[in-house]
Amino acid sequence: MCFTINPYKTILVGLLIIFTSCIDKDVYQENTENNQGTEYVRYLYPYENEAQNVMAEIMLETDNGIDTDIMEAEIPVLKYNKSWLFMLTQDDCKHAAYSTTWAAINGKPLSYNYYYSAEQLAAGDLPPDVLYFKKTLGSTDGTGKEVRFAFTTTLAPEWEWMDAKTDVNKGFTKNYARFYMKSGLTWNNMYEMLAYGTGIAFHDVNTEAVNQEDSIIKHYTLSQQIILNKLSGRGCKTLAEPSGNKTYVTAAFNYAPIVIMTAQNTAATGPQVVPLYPFNVQTDLHKGLLERTFYDSSYDIVSKIESELRKSKEERQAVHVGIHGTGVTFAEFLLWLNNTYGKDGDDSVWFPSLEEYYEYNYYRVHGSVTKEINGNTIKLKISLPSQQYFYYPSVTVNLSGIKKEQIKQITSDNKVTGLSYTDYEDGVMLNIDCRKYLVEHATHFVEKYESDFSVFSRNDASYFVDMLKDSEIKSNLQERLRR
- What was the pLDDT predicted at 374? 87
Task: Specify the DSSP class assigned to residue 173.
Answer: -
User: Domain limits of the chain?
Assistant: 7-26+80-360, 47-75+367-433, 438-481
pLDDT in tens, 268-278: 777 889 999 99
- What was the pLDDT predicted at 23? 62
- What was the pLDDT predicted at 31? 41
Strand partners, 422: 429
- What was the pLDDT predicted at 376? 87
Above 50 in pLDDT, residue 353? yes
Q: What is the DSSP string of 276-315?
A: --GGG--S--TTEEEE-EE-SSHHHHHHHHHHHHTS-GGG
Q: Given phi > 0 = left and psi -120 to 50 = alpha, else beta, which region is 144? A: left
Task: Specify the DSSP class assigned to residue 99.
Answer: I
- Strands 199-201 vs 152-154: parallel, antiparallel or unpaired: parallel
Above 60 in pLDDT, residue 475? yes
Above 60 in pLDDT, residue 16? no
Q: How confident is the model at residue 338 (pLDDT cuts 50, 70, 90)?
A: very high
Query: What kind and span of H or E run contains 474?
Result: helix 472-481
pLDDT in tens, 442-473: 999 999 999 999 999 999 999 999 999 999 99
Q: How confident is the model at residue 22 (pLDDT cuts 50, 70, 90)?
A: low
Contact predicate 301/319, CB 8 Å = yes
Q: How confident is the model at residue 63 (pLDDT cuts 50, 70, 90)?
A: confident
User: What value does the mean pLDDT take over residues 69-80?
Assistant: 93
Task: Specify the DSSP class assigned to residue 162.
Answer: G
pLDDT in tens, 245-258: 999 999 999 999 99
Which of helix, strand or coil describes residue 344? Answer: coil
Other CB atoms within 10 Å distance of the CB of residue 267: 13
Above 50 in pLDDT, residue 216? yes
- Strands 407-412 vs 368-374: parallel, antiparallel or unpaired: unpaired
User: What value does the mean pLDDT take over residues 304-318?
Assistant: 98
In whole angstroms, how far apart are CA 226 and each of 43, 233, 235?
18, 10, 9
Q: Mean pLDDT for the chain? A: 92
Above 60 in pLDDT, residue 30? no
- What was the pLDDT predicted at 12? 53
- What was the pLDDT predicted at 105? 98
Q: How confident is the model at residue 38 (pLDDT cuts 50, 70, 90)?
A: confident
Q: How confident is the model at residue 2 (pLDDT cuts 50, 70, 90)?
A: very low
Give, to the nearest 10 degrees, the angle between helix 455-466 and helix 438-452.
Answer: 160
In this prediction the pTM is 0.94
Cα 83 → chain centroid:
17
pLDDT in tens, 367-422: 999 999 888 899 999 999 999 999 999 999 999 999 999 999 999 999 999 999 99
Query: What kind and span of H or E run contains 400?
Result: strand 394-400
Cα 320 → chain centroid:
13
Residues belonging to the chain: 483
Contact predicate 407/48, CB 8 Å = no
Above 70 in pLDDT, residue 37? no
- Strands 427-433 vs 418-424: parallel, antiparallel or unpaired: antiparallel
Which of helix, strand or coil describes residue 67? Answer: coil
Q: Assign domain 7-26+80-360 to a CATH class.
A: alpha beta
Name the amino acid, one letter, at 2.
C
pLDDT in tens, 229-242: 999 999 999 999 99
Contact predicate 400/68, CB 8 Å = no
